[in-house]
Amino acid sequence: MSEAEYYLAWPEAIDLHVKVSWSQPYTHDLLLSRMAPEDETAYLYSIISKFGNEWLPLYIGMVYNQCVSERHSAPDHKARMEKLQKRFPESIFYITLGTPQFISGRLSQNTIKEIEQLLIYCNWNDKMINAKEINAFDSSKQIRIINEGFIEHICQESVYGVFYR
């Protein structure tokens, strides 16, 4: 099956079209010391690590009413990092921050949630600890996400909608 065989049925009718700029990877300590300039603009983040020569997302999340460094100071995220450290004791964990730029659609908590869910669904791997959105994704919108910047851990583009051949 060739990707070129499939076309988005209504490309002019993409409801949510967003470019996400992913930052360089930061260590957890550097993020918590508020040394990441993207912390003020990011609505998405991914905890990543390198396995062999491949970067993998271990967790993809979102923030809306706070910055990523604040979210990572919360007890549930501290527990999440401890879980990752126990599961992969030889790994070094990094966090990359995703800042969306809307081409169509508008910024809202719901649109950030839909972007997060599609990113989880499209980039799921067996090392991820996301518990939700790994088996299905559903939206009434046609969505296109283009990832830019540091994207070694994530698909360059994810599109959800109606396609034809």
User: According to the model, what pLDDT value does residue 4 have?
Assistant: 67
Domain extents for the chain? 3-164
Report residue 6: phi and psi, to 5°.
-115, 140
pLDDT of residue 33: 86
What are the pLDDT digits (tens) for 117-155?
Answer: 999 999 999 999 988 767 888 899 999 999 999 999 999
In angstroms, what CA-CA distances link 60 with 9, 39, 115, 129?
A: 29, 15, 10, 9
Q: How does pLDDT run across 148-163, given as a tens digit for each residue?
A: 999 999 999 999 988 8
- Eight-state DSSP code of residue 47: E
SS3 45: strand
